[in-house]
């Protein structure tokens, strides 16, 4: 009986069947990697800003406290962005003619706030309160990274739900005494004791069992 199909048809059919079986898995795998990639999370990506502000210079070089610019971080949901008058507190005297700071001077003349591009912009269905985290002893570096080492600001953490839950399930290693929340290079004392981490401070009142309830972040 003459052969109807070419011998290579067996190989071709196997390749087709394997592709049909493995294709969905490969697609899911690529999607899994994409969701966690810097392209999606924007980790390490510098955003263009109206003024190229250097946290490294202001925080590490000059020793300016976070709260000088982000004045509502201890009490409000938003840390707050500095009004132009805050910038001009110094720059009316220092670098007052710098071309780089012309947008700041224009903002003051025209009484128009600077349009900063947000680095940490959570979805509308996520509730985050800076003041709560600060009062519980969560250091700035836990979410924002070492901003004192950033010539230009970038997102240091992915801010995904998975990442947030890692901390909410086990917050103790990330807590510190409240007086050290804004200290960029803080490390726990080697000797241990009540100042080692925030969980040892009874004033922090961190109820770990409640932190993974959906209503904590989704209201």
pLDDT of residue 17: 72
Domain annotation covers residue 96: no
User: Does residue 173 fall inside a structural domain?
Assistant: yes
Asked, for residue 167, whether it belongs to a domain, the answer is: yes
Residue 102 forms part of a structural domain: no
At 30 the pLDDT is 65
DSSP per-residue codes, 43-57: BTPBPP-SS---HII
SS3 at position 161: helix
Domain holding 156, by residue range, is: 73-80+119-217
Cα separation, 85 vs 23, in Å, equals 58
Predicted confidence at residue 49, as pLDDT, reads 94
113 Rama sector, left if φ>0, alpha if ψ -120 to 50, beta otherwise: beta
pLDDT along the chain (219 residues), means of 10: 61 70 68 65 90 96 96 96 95 95 97 93 94 96 97 94 94 94 92 51 67 92
Burial environment of residue 158 by CB neighbours within 10 A (0 to 12, 13 to 18, 19 or more): middle
Q: What is the pLDDT of residue 200?
A: 44
Structural domain contains residue 175: yes
Would 37 be classed as within a structural domain?
A: no
> Cα separation of 19 and 185, whole Å?
52
CA distance 216 to 167: 13
pTM of the model: 0.78
Asked, for residue 25, whether it belongs to a domain, the answer is no
3-state DSSP call for residue 179? helix
Total domains in the fold of the chain? 1
The answer to the question of residue 22 being in a domain is no
């Amino acid at each position: 009986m003459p052969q109807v199909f070419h011998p290579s048809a067996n190989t071709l059919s196997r390749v087709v069947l394997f592709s049909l079986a493995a294709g969905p898995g490969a697609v899911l795998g690529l999607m899994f990697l994409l969701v966690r990639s810097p392209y999606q999370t924007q980790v390490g990506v510098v955003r263009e800003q109206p003024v190229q502000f250097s946290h490294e210079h202001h925080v590490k070089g000059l020793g300016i406290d976070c709260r000088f610019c982000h004045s509502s971080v201890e009490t409000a949901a938003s840390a707050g962005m500095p009004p132009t008058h805050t910038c001009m507190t110094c720059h009316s005297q220092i670098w007052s003619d710098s071309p780089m700071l012309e947008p700041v001077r224009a903002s003051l003349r025209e009484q128009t706030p600077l349009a900063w591009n947000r680095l940490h912009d959570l979805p509308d269905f996520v509730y985050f309160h800076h003041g709560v985290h600060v009062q519980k002893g969560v250091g700035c570096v836990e979410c924002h990274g070492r901003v004192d080492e950033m010539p230009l600001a970038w997102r240091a953490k992915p801010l995904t739900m998975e990442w947030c839950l890692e901390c909410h399930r086990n917050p103790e290693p990330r807590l510190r005494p409240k007086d050290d929340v804004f200290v960029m290079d803080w490390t726990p004392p080697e000797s241990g004791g009540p100042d080692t981490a925030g969980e040892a401070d009874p004033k922090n009142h961190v109820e770990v069992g409640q932190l993974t309830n959906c209503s904590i972040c989704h209201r």
